[in-house]
Amino acid sequence: MPLSPRLAKIVDALPLEPGMRVLEIGCGPGAAARAVAARLDTGHILAIDRSAKAITQAEATGADEIASGRMSVRQAAIEDFALEPGETPFDLVFAVRVGALDGRHPEAGREAMRRIAAVLAPGGRLFIDGGDPLRELPV
C-alpha cells in the first residue's frame, strides 16, 4: 500500500539514520511506520496508537517489517507511555495528527511532553506535522 503524498513528504523530511530507534505516536494503520522501517538497517521503529483496531491493522500490514525486527507495534496512548524494562530510549519521535501534541488537548499535551522527554535518548528529537511538512518541538 503506497504512502499518501502528504505522509511521504513527512517521512522524507524526518532526519532518519539507518541505526536509529524511532517512536511513532498515533501510527494508525502503520503506513508511515512501514516507510520508516524500510529506511532502517539496524534500527527499529516502535509504532504506538491508543486504538486497538489501529494496532491490529498495523500488525497485519506491517507483518514483513515486524518479522524483520525493524518494526514493532504497541497499543498505548502517549499520555500513558513508558519504556518497558530493558527498552532503549528513542533517538527520534514523530507524530502526525495527534491531538495531545497539536494543541487540541492542552492537559494531555503537557503529560505527553513529560512522557516523550522520559523516553528520548540524550540529543533525541521530536517532530510533529504542521510545518512544511514538519516542525520540531523542543523537549
C-alpha–C-alpha distance, residues 16 and 12, integer Å: 9
Q: Which grid cell sits at 49?
A: 496508537
- Per DSSP, the residues of 31-69 read HHHHHHHHT-SS-EEEEEES-HHHHHHHHHHTHHHHHHT
C-alpha–C-alpha distance, residues 29 and 21, integer Å: 20
What amino acid is encoded at 49 in this protein? D
pLDDT at 80: 94
pLDDT at 4: 92
pLDDT at 112: 95
| pLDDT less than 70: residues of the chain | 1
pLDDT at 103: 83
If you ran DSSP here, which 8-state letter would residue 11 be given? Answer: H
Which CA distances in Å does 36 have to 18, 70, 98, 104, 115?
Answer: 10, 9, 18, 26, 22
Q: Parallel, antiparallel, or unpaired for β 120-129 and 134-137?
A: antiparallel
Give the homologous superfamily in CATH for domain 5-137: Vaccinia Virus protein VP39 (3.40.50.150)
